[in-house]
Structure 1
């Protein structure tokens, strides 16, 4: 059975179950089952490695809570042992009453947050089993048991399918969309920023960790494959923060499927941190993010920022600027009103950005880039440390209406990535000198001066005269034809 069919079968069972109500529930429930299946493979791999070295491996989980004991006990033929396997009410009672509480306790007993033990505790503190039928759960466990995690090819296919499920959440209501930024846009942002081995990469609004996963793929493909580099990439390169329970769990699982064993993702409200407390040790070389649009933060949260505003995305922008190292590079997706709003906070934010960073590129995205969200966005590319002298704008025009059947693709962004290196003037791109920007408003609105002008509408009298002239020509031709006949 294909991976895709297995995922579909699991979704069908969740659809039938009275406890899972939406695509959001489906991915949450699939995530905890997948995580335990993955954990079993990981532990088995480590036990095998230890045995080859003549060492003994200490399992993280007690024997009765390992996959092969509670989820898939097998007989001598390798088939599910129906005499031992829990099902029906017994299975649900074990999962809810014993398994989840046991796993949640790891949050209190783990040595520190950057361990897989702590991640286990976090995930099972935040999620609840919503599968009410023990018979449905039994079938789901059997399907999950068929999924292989051993090879990088297997993990790649699983991660691709998981990404598809995250994307589908965008259709499951307003909450889902905020977890998903189109991957072609993320890949283009990463190509422009070009993170290097030894640099740290951060997303303070991590969601499903799409930026961090894509940055991992980009850096892994280009690095020299040695033990030190692999360890650095695994443990000391990617960092994120996420506030929402489900998004946090999905992000952790997404990074694990992409190959990062114990992701450095912290479950916290990023905006709850006072930016005045951010020290050099808390700063990063690269920031990639798409902070949530349209949120409204309380007064006490606004006190953590120098520029007070209820707009979540504008607070995140301050956090990102403060969290960049000197010379650090950022690419941030944000709604286009950040360029033009006339309120004091917006003007102050633009002034801060232009004076403390080199905002060298603004990518203007077409409507429909974000499925289900009628928001126009731009991507800001900036380097911290020197003020902005010139901004290169690029107005993306894929030549079609964007939507579910025509989503953004990698080809749409090839020209932008190529031209960004030299920042020329074209019909879709132009430069703005900061010396020419109004210092009262710092208005950076997207106004393309290179769009070919449409021919002006002609006067009515001119059109009528032309029609009479054409009529006269037609009559002359008809007269000539009659004479010939």
Structure 2
């Protein structure tokens, strides 16, 4: 979450855009993002140069020859604002637009119609100075920055979108463990947080992926897919992926729930936090999704979509609002039945409502399931997450309590969970019991709470203690009045 000094710095930059004549919030976000991207490109380049120097190997710069002057660290120190403006307008901006000449790449598609809109040299100089002072050390702070910018858009989140905290994304990725041969999609990708975390996991855990041309080609061109209906977020996502070393992610401007999405059994892994609370017209929804669950609710339709687009044996780790777990409508029961009886539901991880604060206070859960098309659910693992390492209020400050390491450890050793009791934080529930409860997946339906009897003192003893306290108060009040001559 953006707080304190960093928030003030961002607000000042926003005010500079506003007073300079760029008053459309989406325009501000785009221009802000372009300049952040230019700065981050230079930072990535510097890191790679240092690594090459340390290893004593040659490095092919993304800023060849004369293009070195287009680096943030170079042009920010130019002698005059006019000189910098001229260079950014006619050199730097065309350079980043044409970084990937291939018109088929996501970057080329969504940067092709990008327009530099900052009108004056003085305004650009002030914004560059402001951005240069922003300290965005980790990916979470960058994600927070984008979310904070989007919070300034009056229309942001009308379909229930909000950013998934980085540590929750990281946990979900570590639970499903992406493999080098996976084909991964987020059908509601936003700024591509899930895809970026997945590629980070692969870099850390499967370095062999980058030693073979075939697997490297897959990583750069056919592993990562993302859909969104917001071109600003598509641009941010494309820039994000490029900065993280994925050359050609398959990022598309697409309504994932509509007929235009024809994907069937194409992906081996779904990672997503799809929009909640959205309500669509039946005419806008793909007919085959309505066959699975006839509803207008986006959270149910996305679950039907995940089952359709996954290959047999494909896995999903997705966030759903609590209502999906226990909703009593026919559509709610249909989708739960489809996942449980016709596929394999592996786990339900209940999260506290504060996880998405300050953007939303909704209670959510993570569903982990495998597409089989022929059943396979014999028992479901439940975990009651009570803490995620941050306070559950709007401040979201770091605290010691954190269930995430325990969740990952236990999920990786489910054989040891068999004998856990319903009074524990995690336990198994047999599928027959879930079916008999109308496929209810709320943990409170199955968790047992042990109530300890409390012994109180007899009533006459309690009243006697109250009388004694009252006498003491009256005596001390009398003493006080004497001292004050009242």
Shorter-chain-normalised TM-score: which range?
A: 0.7 to 0.9
Which residue matches 2:107?
A: 119
How far apart are the structure 2 equivalents of 1:292 and 1:349?
A: 17
Which residue matches 2:371?
A: 384
TM-score by length of structure 2 reads 0.73
Unaligned runs of at least 5 residues, structure 1: 148-153, 472-485
How far apart are the structure 2 equivalents of 1:57 and 1:397?
A: 47
| Equivalent residues of 2:391, 2:398 under 8 A apart | no
| Equivalent residues of 2:273, 2:319 under 8 A apart | yes
Which residue matches 1:404?
A: 394
Which residue matches 1:30?
A: 32
Give, in angstroms, the shift of residue 232 of structure 1: 3.5
Which residue matches 1:285?
A: 268
Which residue matches 1:326?
A: 312
Which residue matches 1:395?
A: 384
Pick one of 420, 426, 429 that aligns with 1:429.
426
Give, in angstroms, the shift of residue 316 of structure 1: 1.0
| Equivalent residues of 2:258, 2:286 under 8 A apart | no
Unaligned runs of at least 5 residues, structure 2: 467-486
How far apart are the structure 1 equivalents of 2:70 and 2:435?
A: 69
Which residue matches 1:138?
A: 125
| 1:223-242 to 2 correspondences below 5 Å | 223-225=206-208, 226-228=210-212, 229-242=215-228
| 1:142-291 to 2 correspondences below 5 Å | 157=137, 159=139, 161-169=141-149, 172=152, 175=156, 178-225=161-208, 226-228=210-212, 229-273=215-259, 277-280=262-265, 283-291=266-274
| Equivalent residues of 1:294, 1:312 under 8 A apart | yes
How far apart are the structure 2 equivalents of 1:142 and 1:468?
A: 69
How far apart are the structure 1 equivalents of 2:246 and 2:229?
A: 20
Which residue matches 2:438?
A: 441
How far apart are the structure 1 equivalents of 2:335 and 2:84?
A: 58
Report the secondary structure of 1:373's partner residue: coil
How far apart are the structure 2 equivalents of 1:57 and 1:457?
A: 71
1:215-267, Cα deviation, whole Å (9 max, x unpaired): 11111011135432544333332211111122222222222232323332112
CA shift in 2, pair 1:263/1:30, >3 Å: farther
1:55-112, Cα deviation, whole Å (9 max, x unpaired): x99999xx9xx784799997xxx9626497264xx899x68xx9989988x79x9655
| Equivalent residues of 2:110, 2:231 under 8 A apart | no
| Equivalent residues of 2:277, 2:299 under 8 A apart | yes
CA shift in 2, pair 1:366/1:22, >3 Å: farther
**More displaced stretch, 19-28 vs 36-45:** 36-45
TM-score by length of structure 1 reads 0.73
Give, in angstroms, the shift of residue 337 of structure 1: 0.5
Report the secondary structure of 2:227's partner residue: strand
Residue 317, structure 1, aligned to residue 265, structure 2: no
Which residue matches 2:475?
A: none
1:259-302, Cα deviation, whole Å (9 max, x unpaired): 32333211211112467x4344xx11111100011111122222
1:95-143, Cα deviation, whole Å (9 max, x unpaired): 8xx9989988x79x96553x2xx52341353x55554544111343577
Report the secondary structure of 1:217's partner residue: helix
Residue 416, structure 1, aligned to residue 419, structure 2: no
How far apart are the structure 1 equivalents of 2:62 and 2:117?
A: 31
| Equivalent residues of 2:13, 2:130 under 8 A apart | no
Which residue matches 1:481?
A: none
How far apart are the structure 1 equivalents of 2:92 and 2:462?
A: 84
Which residue matches 1:464?
A: 459
| 1:49-88 to 2 correspondences below 5 Å | 68=69, 80=78, 82=80, 85=83, 87=85
1:413-432, Cα deviation, whole Å (9 max, x unpaired): 11111122223435212322
Question: Over aligned residues, Cα RMSD in angstroms?
Answer: 4.6
How far apart are the structure 1 equivalents of 2:432 and 2:355?
A: 32
Which residue matches 1:300?
A: 283
